[in-house]
Structure 1
Amino acid sequence: MTTIGVDVGGTSVRAGVVDDAGVVLATAHGSSREDVDDEICRVVGELRAEHAVIAVGLAVAGFVASDRRTVLFAPHLPWRASAVADRLAQRIGLPVVLEHDANAAAVAEYRFGGLRGARVGLLVALGTGIGAALLIDGSVYRGAFGVAPELGHLRLVPDGRECPCGKRGCWERYCSGTALAATARDMGAAESTGREVAQAARAGDPLALAAVDEMARWLGDGLALVADVYDPEVVVIGGGVSGSADLYLDKAVDRYRALMTGTGHRPVARVVRAQRGDEAGMVGAAALAAGWVGGAGRVG
């Protein structure tokens, strides 16, 4: 059973033909800065010209309604209470299902990566901000209205850094690619990106290393808080910043273990780096599309 997964981000549209084993057979790319509906139809059409597929899944950076048909809000896309799935299904001529991008990535990790076999598995995606997903017995936990869990906006620092969500002190303002660059600037570094700070740390720059250590501290703090709430068996660290996990993950895990309630008297979650990398969103979306068709409307 072959399907197409489309990862719809704030600037790009990436699509892939994916088989039952989670293997990406072909890809196509577009820009979400253009008419995003047109771009999705274009890349799907490009892939369908060479591959027989039965359904399309979209991994969306935004709030997706629990019926998997409507995007409630996507901060970097023009969709507001938009019936995206039905509209695109009519244009494409195939079943279309939606999923939050972090949920889709978690499904990919559960089916084909680091969350395999986990009864309670958590994905924490470190990128521009923090995306998160919780899987219980392989099913996505969505909350009452389809938008859980927004872990990146847990407030860790009262009156801390301003967050685009409108609050101050959110976890992602201290633990993300954006946060890494901000911390380096606060320490006196020149203007840079999180990727550049990580590269400097890898080269041994003391200030960059200090900024990475600070991010590791906040990652450990957040994981300890989340573990007290969800008690996961496995935590997968994904997103673009996970490419530098060797610089910070061991220190973050040590802090998490030290801070969790009942430390030394309870099992500790296994914390691992994501295995499916930047293809996780489209692989998970494709798997969910296959489940939608094969399971008569059931997803995740």
Structure 2
Amino acid sequence: MRKGVDIGGTFIKVLWEDGRRQKFYVKDISRDGEKFIKTIVSVVKEGEPEAVGIAVAGFTSLEGVVYKSPNIPALDGLNLKEIITSEGIKCIVGNDVSFGAFGEWYYDHRESKSLLFIAIGTGLGAGFVINGEPYLGACGSSLELGHHIIKVGGELCNCGRAGCWEAYCSSYGFERIYKSISQEYLRDYQVVEKAKQGDQTALSAVEVFKEYLIAGLVNAVHILNPDVLVLGGGLLDSMREFLGDVKERLLASVEKLPASCLSVAFSSCEEFCMARGALAMSLKLFEQSSP
């Protein structure tokens, strides 16, 4: 039995091959490197899986080293694959949204030749699948679209740079947009709730957020020319009722040729997307390594 594991700063989420789902709360220890690593190992080993896919938010190499996780600093520099394989478990480790993208293709969009997955929650991640193969780049750090600059000299991103797409399209970016309009700090979910109640200031923040969302999507479509664009992540899921015009506005903003072959969909796997993608990667690994 194989499983996928999604390591986050608040929860570690697990999806088993038989459909079982598990969540482990880790926020209280996520900044304590030693405790966090012990918990990760314990969660991965639980149930004695024969193979595991592990999704990590951050710059993760093909060898399974987490070079930098802007939102989970306890993982920085960790050779996660080495740690898990030393426990006798076959595993593959990689960027969470790259794995999530493969899960979107594997389970929902097998017809796609070039699938782009954009996930927006605490941060902004992306993944790309070409002809059924996840594109990971030369050393594993491809598709860090959250850290492409959309505004020179712009807002500070959690990666330390200024003007990144994530600095505007993420939970903290959305909170900052709302504060710049209202002069009041609220959590992202509180702003979304106010927008759902018809609050005009919150609705204005949603509109600004969407402008940055579409600007970044236009860049991505022009660079990658996907035939399927899938949008997901906790923040986008929560504001889904306000995103009904995103496809129309995006198609109207990109050039005619890439627009002609582009379809836009919302992910259906919600909070277990990255665990699902990690599971799909473990299934792919297992199939390739079987006699």
- Could you say which residue in structure 2 is the equivalent of 1:277? 270
1:36 aligns with 2:36: yes
1:69-88 to structure 2, matched below 5 A, reads: 69-75=64-70, 76-88=72-84
Letter in 2 for 1:66: L
In the alignment, structure 2 segments of 5+ residues that lack a partner are none
- Could you say which residue in structure 1 is the equivalent of 2:47? 47
Letter in 1 for 2:122: T
Q: Which moved more, 1:243-252 or 1:127-136?
A: 243-252
TM-score normalised per structure 1:
0.87
Letter in 2 for 1:41: V
Deviations 1:265-286 (A, max 9, x none): 8505211111111111112112
Give secondary structure in 2 for the equivalent of 1:38: helix
Identity %: 28
- Cα contact 1:27–1:47 (8 A) shared by 2: no
- Cα contact 1:15–1:28 (8 A) shared by 2: yes
Q: Which runs of at least 4 in structure 1 moved beyond 4 Å after TM superposition?
A: none
- Could you say which residue in structure 1 is the equivalent of 2:209? 215
Match of 1:253 among 237, 240, 247: 247
Partners of 1:205 and 1:253 lie apart in 2 by: 24
Q: Which moved more, 1:117-126 or 1:247-256?
A: 247-256
Partners of 1:30 and 1:44 lie apart in 2 by: 14
Give secondary structure in 2 for the equivalent of 1:72: strand
Deviations 1:88-128 (A, max 9, x none): 1222x221210210012112211123x33211110100112
* CA gap 1:212/1:80 in 2 versus in 1, 3 angstroms: closer
1:147-296 to structure 2, matched below 5 A, reads: 147-262=141-256, 266-296=259-289
Q: Give the aligned CA root-mean-square deviation in angstroms.
A: 2.1
Deviations 1:16-51 (A, max 9, x none): 3224xxxx2242524252522211222234433xxx
1:16 aligns with 2:15: yes
Give secondary structure in 2 for the equivalent of 1:78: helix
Partners of 2:21 and 2:182 lie apart in 1 by: 44
Q: Which moved more, 1:266-275 or 1:206-215?
A: 266-275
- Cα contact 2:158–2:167 (8 A) shared by 1: no
* CA gap 1:174/1:81 in 2 versus in 1, 3 angstroms: closer
- Cα contact 2:94–2:140 (8 A) shared by 1: no
Give secondary structure in 2 for the equivalent of 1:7: strand
Partners of 2:101 and 2:244 lie apart in 1 by: 21
Count of aligned pairs: 284
Give secondary structure in 2 for the equivalent of 1:187: helix
- Could you say which residue in structure 1 is the equivalent of 2:103? 108
In the alignment, structure 1 segments of 5+ residues that lack a partner are none
- Cα contact 1:5–1:57 (8 A) shared by 2: yes
- Cα contact 1:3–1:287 (8 A) shared by 2: no
Match of 2:129 among 125, 135, 142: 135
Structure that is richer in helix per residue: 2
- Cα contact 2:118–2:230 (8 A) shared by 1: yes
Deviations 1:48-104 (A, max 9, x none): 3xxxx311111111222124x32222231433443321221222x221210210012
- Could you say which residue in structure 2 is the equivalent of 1:57? 53
Partners of 2:67 and 2:177 lie apart in 1 by: 32
Deviations 1:147-199 (A, max 9, x none): 01111112112221122223222112222222221111111152101111111
Partners of 2:261 and 2:252 lie apart in 1 by: 10
Give secondary structure in 1 for the equivalent of 2:276: helix
Partners of 1:246 and 1:286 lie apart in 2 by: 26
- Could you say which residue in structure 1 is the equivalent of 2:6? 7
